[in-house]
Structure 1
Amino acid sequence: MTTTPIEVSPTAYDELAATLRGDLITPDDQRYDEARAVYNAMIDKKPAAIVRCRDTADVVACVRFGRTHNLTLAIRGGGHNAAGFGVWDDALVIDLSLLRSTTVDPDNHTVRVDPGCTWADVDHATVAFGMTTPSGFLGSTGVAGLTLGGGIGYLSRRFGLTVDNLLSADVVLADGTLVTASENSHSDLFWALRGGGGNFGVVTSFTFRCHDIGEHGVIIGGPVLYDLADTAEVMRWYRELLPSLPEELSGWIGTLTIPPAPPFPEELWGRKACGIVWCYTGSHELADEVLEPIKAFGSPLVVGLHDMPFNVLQTAFDALYPAGLQWYWRADMFEEISDEAIAIHCKYGALLPTGHSTMHLYPIDGAASRVREDATAFAYRGGGWAGVIVGVDPDPASAESISQWARDYWDELHPTSAGGAYVNFMMNEGEDRVKASYRGNYDRLVQVKNRYDPDNTFRVNQNIRPTTRGL
């Protein structure tokens, strides 16, 4: 993806600023470096300008300005994107982070969400009413990016992916018009938004279906950690057990380093481990029976299952992974956790290069797998796991070592995969990887792109290239 920098006169930017409620930030502004920073500190991009939008009218103005001046547009929501697509060199960044309101309708079990919200914002609003909508695994993750890529999380087994619970979205299109996409309006666009990323416009509002969970929003969850030497045994047990569990119980598995902080016992701080983080959202009267198989297995180092509001589990790792760390991501989808894959996980789990580096496998089964593969743009519906390998560290000097570990790990593991990846976990990896990640839905996505963004105005993303202009 290459673009030629476009020179826009200061007068033109002054004219844009005069139309905005939000702030226009250019490179000579003292706020510029802070405004261009993203969650992954390994990304260092220098945009031409950044607009911190205050409303939909600001978004419309930015899209039209970008088109008029032939500027690359980058859309920033929560800023978590693995590849740092929320900013881009020489681009006009449409920053949505100030748009943070939520509106809960308890009677109809819905929540309307602004595009700058994080999932912590949403859970704060909904859990107070004993309900929530499926999301991811970190409260600091942005709603917009996670939703548009699919939305795999703790509730996927019971209630489906985030996109399976999206009811409608307001979208600013490439020509600057605003439409509402739903099953009954611009249904082709609505289909594409549910997994197709930011390829089709700027979403300025999401409306989600909510679900009652736990006991008035209180679930039972937390980690169960095992000695790293038990990884192979734990993974074999987990792959067989998980599909048989009630859908109210879900858990992701990974290799990790036990954080050097409470509530973990001090004698375990810094120890490498295999862990499963469980989340049970069903009736507490049935909890003992449902949780017995996971409490009884093996010889765990820690059994950290507790009653807690859902948003406490959702934000449990936020402090461990603050913005500004160095990140290098590699990812794949897996239809099974094979013995060959387990051997590779054992090998690289023992080689975890830093305390923050980790590997996770997130289940996609239950309700998420009962949705047809072509019902939404998100294609991997046959059951299995979304896997991610992340090299992470605060120190920029570690960037090469954590990246090499992740690359080597992925190179060995990839032949055991289903071919593509969860787009929210991908770096800037090229068109072939994008096609593999959408499988049989890719051609239909191109058709929607041709209709709504034929000039590829929205191309700083896991790009689906239109064919109408030969771009």
Structure 2
Amino acid sequence: MKNSIKEIASKSIESFASNLKGSLVFPTDSNYDDTRKVYNAMINKRPGLFAMCKTVDDVISSVNFARENNLLVAIRGGGHNGAGLGLCDDGLVIDLSGIKFVEVDTSNNTVKVGGGNIWNEVDTATHEYGLAIPSGMISTTGVGGLTLGGGVGYLTRKYGLTIDNLLEADMVLADGSFVTVNATENTDLFWAIRGGGGNFGVVTSFTFQAHPVKTIMGGPTLWPIERVEEIMAWYDTFIQEVSEDLNGFIATMVIPESPFPEHLHNKKFCGIVWCYVGNPDKFDALFKAVLELNPVFAHVGEMPFPALQSMFDGLLPSGLQWYWRADFFNELGPEVRAEHLKYGSSIPTPLSQMHLYPLSGAASRVGAEETPWAYRDAKYAGVYIGVDSDPKNATKITDWCKAYQEALHPHSAGGAYSNFMMEEGQDRIKASYKHNYDRLARIKNSYDPDNLFRVNQNIIPKK
């Protein structure tokens, strides 16, 4: 059993506070309710204490305090995790939002980033130098959570997952020690954090390889939902064969009232959101095959890469109700496409949607054991997302997501991208790491045998 904050002597807490450059936030503080808010408003956890860290020493002190007092501990970076795993009830939250910096080295196009940064801050800094790091789809996402889970995004086909571009990390381990991990130092830990989540320590900085990306061709194309089977069958072939310079995720969605034209509002569509990073002179010829499908809406053009990365931030701000389910897929056959028509035609709320992210290209050329990400042979990472602003609709969006995923799971590859999972139990976690789970469990046992870092998609320590 973990102790409660209430059971800890006030002198111990006072001593802890006196060693911090940052601050502590208690349930009795006026800013407590704001502090405990995360991206998903469906999460309503009540931590016993927040440690608002500003330095690595603050993180070390916080880890030691949690371990010595047998506290449940959660690590919060950007607070975007769908399952709310950046919070815990009654325990200690180690908040990294005060540890932010972005250092761009143009001599080798590497970027060092703080554990508390969000991707928008990184994108803004790297864009000035005509560089980008493969990340996700929403720029308010935290760097830490997205990276440690894998990192699927617009640049996946061209430059791989975020973890494929991670060169080094600084970490605080469960015993309070501080280590650097990379291809030559602490190599077992370096392997484990590239997809194994926050199981192995608190990452206070990441160093990435960036790539020459500044202006891209991007934006959405839409077709009526009735055409989803046709478009999905075409897409399944096209996206696997087309140049890796072009990426595009396919979706079932409802078009919101802004910023789209009025005649599209509140109607259901099959959409593809594109990102092309190649020679602009070759784009029209390559994209001709898309336009020949006669989309009812095509808003694809030249834009700064950060504009695409943040395109949906305004539609999906913090504070909405969210529920997620996910699967990997190897094929989009007739039975799969029929289910997408069925559930895409019954989307329950305007912001709810389904996405399939392609995993071909650079991401597929990394070996299935080179990182914990075991599904290098999967074609797509699929996610079903229930979203709404009204808590009264929480059950409606949850039930739709579950039904959508349960209908398609028999056709899936078995596991799911961990960043798209709720708290779904050990069987789901093991399925998502497949043959890599046992190695992760042994590394976990070496560095965190008591499972201090357990508020995550947890890997149980094993000798």
Superposition TM-score tier, normalisation by shorter sequence = over 0.9
Counterpart check, 1:234 vs 2:231: yes
> How much has 1:274 moved relative to structure 2?
0.5
| Deviation for aligned residue 1:100 | 2.0
Q: Render the CA deviation track for 1:173-220: whole Å, top value 9, x for unaligned.
A: 00000000000000000000000000000000000001102xxx0000
Residue aligning to 1:390: 385
Structure 1 residue 260 corresponds to structure 2 residue 254: no
3-state SS of the aligned residue for 1:71?
Answer: coil
- 1:166 corresponds in structure 2 to 166
Residue among 282, 287, 290 paired with 1:291: 287
One-letter code of the match for 1:188? D
Matched, 1:462 2:429: no
SS in 2 for 1:333: strand
Aligned to 2:348: 353
TM-score, length basis structure 2: 0.98
Find the aligned partners of 1:143 and 1:237 in 2 and give their Cα distance.
34
Give 1:266 deviation, angstroms: 1.1
Give the counterpart letter for 1:97 in structure 2: S
In the TM superposition, what are the counterparts of 1:182-197 in structure 2 within 5 Å? 182-197=182-197
User: Does the Cα contact within 8 Å between 2:149 and 2:197 map onto a contact in 1?
Assistant: yes
For residues 241-280 of structure 1, the aligned pairs below 5 Å read 241-262=238-259, 264-280=260-276
Identify the residue that residue 86 of structure 1 maps to in structure 2. 86
Counterpart CA distance in 1 for 2:51 and 2:342 is 46
Q: Are 1:149 and 2:149 an aligned pair?
A: yes
Tell me if structure 1 keeps the 8 A contact 2:328–2:378: no
What do the CA deviations read for 1:87-145 (whole angstroms, capped 9, x no partner)? 00011000011222100011210100001111111110111111111001110111000
Amino acid corresponding to residue 64 of structure 2 in structure 1: R
Q: Which residue matches 2:4?
A: 5
TM-score by length of 1: 0.97
Q: For residue 334 of structure 1, what is the amino acid of its counterpart?
A: F
Quick one: distance in 2 between partners of 1:56 and 1:380?
A: 34
CA distance in 2, matches of 1:55, 1:379: 34
Equivalent residue, structure 2, for 1:112: 112
Report deviation, 1:24: 0.3
One-letter amino acid of the counterpart of residue 386, structure 1: A
Partners of 1:3 and 1:312 in 2: how far apart? 45
Alpha-carbon distance between aligned partners in 1 of 2:167 and 2:190, rounded to the nearest angstrom: 9
Q: In the TM superposition, what is the alpha-carbon distance from 1:295 to its structure 2 partner?
A: 2.1
Q: Are the aligned partners of 2:47 and 2:91 in contact in 1 as well (CA < 8 Å)?
A: yes
SS at match of 1:198: helix
> Mind listing any 5+ residue stretches in structure 2 that lack a counterpart?
none
The alpha carbon displacement at 1:4 in A equals: 5.5
Paired residue for 2:202?
A: 202
Q: Which amino acid aligns with 1:451?
A: S
- 2:177 pairs with 1:181: no
Partners of 1:295 and 1:451 in 2: CA distance: 54
SS in 2 for 1:320: coil
In structure 1, distance between residues paired with 2:462 and 2:263: 59
1:307-337 Cα distance to aligned partner (Å, 9 max, x none) = 0000000000001000010011111111111
**SS in structure 1 at match of 2:284:** helix
Residue 383 of structure 1 and its aligned partner are, at CA, apart by: 3.6
| Residue 3 to residue 299, structure 1, CA distance change in 2 (3 Å) | farther
CA deviation vs aligned residue, 1:252-311 (integer Å, no higher than 9, x gap): 00100112012x211111111100000000111211222222222x22111110100000
**Structure 1: how far apart are the matches of 2:442 and 2:285?**
49
Corresponding letter in the other structure for 2:282 = L
Q: Is the 8 A contact 2:378 2:413 kept in 1?
A: no
Cα distance in 2 for partners of 1:325, 1:420 equals 27
Quote the Cα distance in structure 1 between the aligned partners of 2:89 and 2:307: 37
Q: State the one-letter code of the partner of 1:155.
A: L
Residue deviations 1:15-39 (CA, integer Å, cap 9, x gap):
1110001110011011111111111
CA RMSD of aligned residues (A): 1.0
* Partner SS, residue 277 of structure 1: strand
In structure 1, how many angstroms separate the alpha carbons of the residues matched to 2:360 and 2:294?
Answer: 27
Q: What is the alpha-carbon distance in structure 2 between the residues aligned to residue 329 and residue 141 of structure 1?
A: 15
Q: Distance in 2 between matches of 1:333 and 1:3?
A: 35
Aligned residue pairs, count: 462
- Contact 2:353–2:386 under 8 Å retained in 1: yes
Q: Which moved more, 1:9-18 or 1:25-34?
A: 9-18
| SS of aligned partner of 2:197 | coil
Cα deviation code 1:230-255 (max 9, x no counterpart): 11110000001111110010000010
Percent of residue pairs bearing the same amino acid type: 52
1:316 aligns with 2:311: yes
Equivalent residue, structure 2, for 1:400: 395
Q: Partners in 1 of 2:105 and 2:248 — Cα distance?
A: 29
Displacement of 1:3 in angstroms is: 4.7
Helix, strand or coil at the partner of 2:199: coil
Cα separation, 2, equivalents of 1:378 and 1:150: 7
Q: Tell me what 1:55 maps to.
A: 55
The 2-side partners of 1:349 and 1:138 are apart by 22
Structure 1 unaligned residues grouped into runs of 5+:
none
In the alignment, is the contact (CA less than 8 A) between 2:3 and 2:72 conserved in 1?
A: no
Equivalent residue letter for 2:288: E
1:40 Cα offset (Å): 0.5
Secondary structure of 2:424 counterpart = coil
SS of 2:13 mapped into structure 1: helix
Indicate the larger mover: 403-412 or 142-151.
403-412
Distance in 2 (alpha carbons) for counterparts of 1:256 and 1:280: 22
